[in-house]
Structure 1
Amino acid sequence: MMAGRRAFWRLAVLLLALAAARGQETYRICVVEKFNSTKKASTYCTVLDEKGSQASCVLGQSRLDCFRKITKNKADFAVFPAEDILAASHYGSDEVAVTNNIRVFSKQPFQMQVAAVVRKAANITYMSDLRGQKFCHPGYGYSTDDWTQVMAQLFEQEVVPQRCEQALTVAENRLKSSSEFFKSACKAGPWAPDQAVDRRLKERYHNLCALCDDPDACATTDKYWERRGPLFCLTDGVGDVAWARLDDIDLHFGISSHVEPVTAAKDFSLLCPDGRQEPLDTPQHCTWMSRPWPAVVARKKVTQSIQKLISSLQDAKPHSWQWALLHLVESFNQDIVPLDKIMPLEDYLHQAPGFLKAYSLPACRPPRTVRVCTRSNVEAAKCRMLAQAAQALGVWPDLACVPGVSAEECALSVQEGNADVTVTLPQWQHVARRKYKLKPLLFEFSPDTSALYEVAAVVKAGKGIRNIQDLKGKKACFPSYDGVGWNTMVSLLKNNGLLTKSCPFSAALGEFFSEACVPGLNATSNMNSLCPSEINNTFAGEAGAFKCLASGKGDVAFISMNTVKKYTDGNSKEAWAKDLKSAEFRPLCTNGSSPACFLSWATPGQVMVYSNISSTRHEEIYLTFLTLQDYFGKKMKTPGMFQLFSAFDNYSNVLFQDRTERLDTLAGLQREKPLRHNYERMLEALAPCSGALPSSLPAALVAALAATRLFR
Structure 2
Amino acid sequence: MKCFKLLILCSLVQLVCLQGVGSGLNGNLRLCIVEARGTYKRAGKFCPILDEEQSGVECVIGTDRLDCLRRISKGTVDFGPFSPEDLIAAQWANIDVLVTNEIPHRQRSYERTVVAVVNRRILPDSSWSLEAVLRNTSLCHPGNGVNDLRPLSDTLAGYLESLVIARSCESGLSLSENRIKAVSQFFSKACKAGPWVPDQKQDAELKLKYSNLCEACETPSCDANDRYWGVTGALTCLLEGAGDVMWGNLDDVLAYFGLDSQSNQHPSSDNFAYLCRDGTWQPLKDNPKPCVWLNRPWPIVAAKRKTAAAVSKLVSSLQDGALFDGHWHGALSSLLEVREAPTPLYPPRAPLDHLATARGFREAYSQNGCDPPRHINVCTSSLLEKNKCEWMSEAASVYGVTPPFQCLIRDGVAGCLRSVQLEESDVTIVDSDWLVSAMRDYKLKPIMHEVTPIMEQMDTVFAYVRKNENINKMADLRGKRAAFPRFDGFAWHSVIKYLNNEQNGCTENLNDYFSEICAPGIEKYNFTEEVVKKYTKTCYGIDRGLDDGEKAGFLGLIHNKTDVAFASIKTYNSYKVERSHGPAVGIEIIPLCLEENKKYCYIKWANIGHIMTIKNLTSVRSHEIKNVFGKLDQLFGTHQPFHNPMFSLYGPFSHNLDVLFKNNTKRLATDKIFETHPYVGMPLNFEGSLVNDTFDSCHLSHILALNFAPKSAPVVAILTLLTVVSSFLLY
Q: TM-score, normalised by structure 1?
A: 0.86
The aligned counterpart of 1:497 is 503
2:69 pairs with 49, 67, 77, which one?
Answer: 67
Q: Is the 8 A contact 2:146 2:634 kept in 1?
A: no
Specify whether residues 471 and 318 from structure 1 end up closer, same or farther in structure 2 by C-alpha distance, changes over 3 A only.
Answer: same
The aligned counterpart of 1:384 is 390
Q: Distance in 2 between matches of 1:268 and 1:568?
A: 69
Deviation at 1:469, TM superposition (A): 1.5
Amino acid at match of 1:85: L
The aligned counterpart of 1:83 is 85
Q: Distance in 2 between matches of 1:512 and 1:552?
A: 19
SS of the residue aligned with 1:84?
A: helix
The aligned counterpart of 1:512 is 513
* 1:54 aligned onto 2:21: no
Q: Equivalent residues in 2 for 1:130-529 (5 A)? A: 130-141=134-145, 145-146=149-150, 147-214=152-219, 216-255=220-259, 258=262, 260=264, 262-265=266-269, 267-280=271-284, 286-314=291-319, 315-316=321-322, 318-331=325-338, 333-497=339-503, 500-501=506-507, 508-518=509-519, 519-520=521-522, 523=527, 529=534
Q: Distance in 1 between matches of 2:592 and 2:191?
A: 59
2:551 pairs with 514, 533, 543, which one?
Answer: 543
After superposition, what is the alpha-carbon deviation per residue over 1:62-96, rounded to whole angstroms, capped at 9, x for unaligned? 121122222222322111111122112222422x2
SS of the residue aligned with 2:601?
A: coil
Amino acid at match of 1:434: R
Deviation at 1:279, TM superposition (A): 3.9
Deviation at 1:431, TM superposition (A): 0.5
Q: Is the 8 A contact 2:427 2:613 kept in 1?
A: yes
Deviation at 1:423, TM superposition (A): 0.9
Q: Is the 8 A contact 2:111 2:298 kept in 1?
A: yes
Q: Is the 8 A contact 1:455 1:561 kept in 2?
A: yes
* 1:600 aligned onto 2:600: no
Q: Is the 8 A contact 1:605 1:656 kept in 2?
A: yes
Query: Which stretch has the larger CA shift, 428-437 or 16-25?
Result: 16-25
Specify whether residues 686 and 433 from structure 1 end up closer, same or farther in structure 2 by C-alpha distance, changes over 3 A only.
Answer: closer
The aligned counterpart of 1:554 is 562
Query: Which stretch has the larger CA shift, 430-439 or 193-202?
Result: 193-202
Specify whether residues 412 and 536 from structure 1 end up closer, same or farther in structure 2 by C-alpha distance, changes over 3 A only.
Answer: farther
Q: Distance in 2 between matches of 1:389 and 1:254?
A: 37
After superposition, what is the alpha-carbon deviation per residue over 1:552-575, rounded to whole angstroms, capped at 9, x for unaligned? 443322222443554677579xxx
Deviation at 1:481, TM superposition (A): 2.5
Deviation at 1:25, TM superposition (A): 4.8
Specify whether residues 131 and 601 from structure 1 end up closer, same or farther in structure 2 by C-alpha distance, changes over 3 A only.
Answer: same
Deviation at 1:365, TM superposition (A): 3.2
> Structure 1: where are the runs of 5+ without partners?
1-15, 502-506, 700-712
Q: Is the 8 A contact 1:532 1:538 kept in 2?
A: no
After superposition, what is the alpha-carbon deviation per residue over 1:409-431, rounded to whole angstroms, capped at 9, x for unaligned? 11111111111111111111110
Deviation at 1:22, TM superposition (A): 7.8
After superposition, what is the alpha-carbon deviation per residue over 1:351-393, rounded to whole angstroms, capped at 9, x for unaligned? 2121121122245333322221112122112111111111111
Q: Distance in 2 between matches of 1:358 and 1:398?
A: 16
Q: Is the 8 A contact 2:115 2:274 kept in 1?
A: yes
Q: Equivalent residues in 2 for 1:674-685 (5 A)? A: 674-684=681-691
Q: Equivalent residues in 2 for 1:100-139 (5 A)? A: 100-106=101-107, 108-123=108-123, 125-129=128-132, 130-139=134-143
Specify whether residues 551 and 166 from structure 1 end up closer, same or farther in structure 2 by C-alpha distance, changes over 3 A only.
Answer: farther
The aligned counterpart of 2:620 is 616
Q: Is the 8 A contact 2:538 2:561 kept in 1?
A: no
Deviation at 1:297, TM superposition (A): 0.6
Q: Is the 8 A contact 2:558 2:587 kept in 1?
A: no
Deviation at 1:283, TM superposition (A): 8.3
Backbone CA RMSD of aligned residues: 3.2
Q: Distance in 2 between matches of 1:278 and 1:34?
A: 41
Specify whether residues 498 and 581 from structure 1 end up closer, same or farther in structure 2 by C-alpha distance, changes over 3 A only.
Answer: farther
Q: Distance in 1 between matches of 2:353 and 2:429?
A: 37
Q: Is the 8 A contact 2:31 2:58 kept in 1?
A: yes
Q: Is the 8 A contact 1:675 1:681 kept in 2?
A: no
After superposition, what is the alpha-carbon deviation per residue over 1:136-182, rounded to whole angstroms, capped at 9, x for unaligned? 11113466745311122222222222222233221111111211211
Q: Distance in 2 between matches of 1:256 and 1:557?
A: 72
Q: Distance in 1 between matches of 2:317 and 2:386?
A: 40
Q: Distance in 1 between matches of 2:487 and 2:375?
A: 35
Amino acid at match of 2:445: K
Q: TM-score, normalised by structure 2?
A: 0.84
> Structure 2: where are the runs of 5+ without partners?
1-12, 21-25, 715-731
Amino acid at match of 2:345: L
The aligned counterpart of 1:30 is 32
Specify whether residues 173 and 366 from structure 1 end up closer, same or farther in structure 2 by C-alpha distance, changes over 3 A only.
Answer: same
Deviation at 1:598, TM superposition (A): 2.1
After superposition, what is the alpha-carbon deviation per residue over 1:413-457, rounded to whole angstroms, capped at 9, x for unaligned? 111111111111111111011111111111112223332122112
Deviation at 1:698, TM superposition (A): 7.5
The aligned counterpart of 1:4 is none
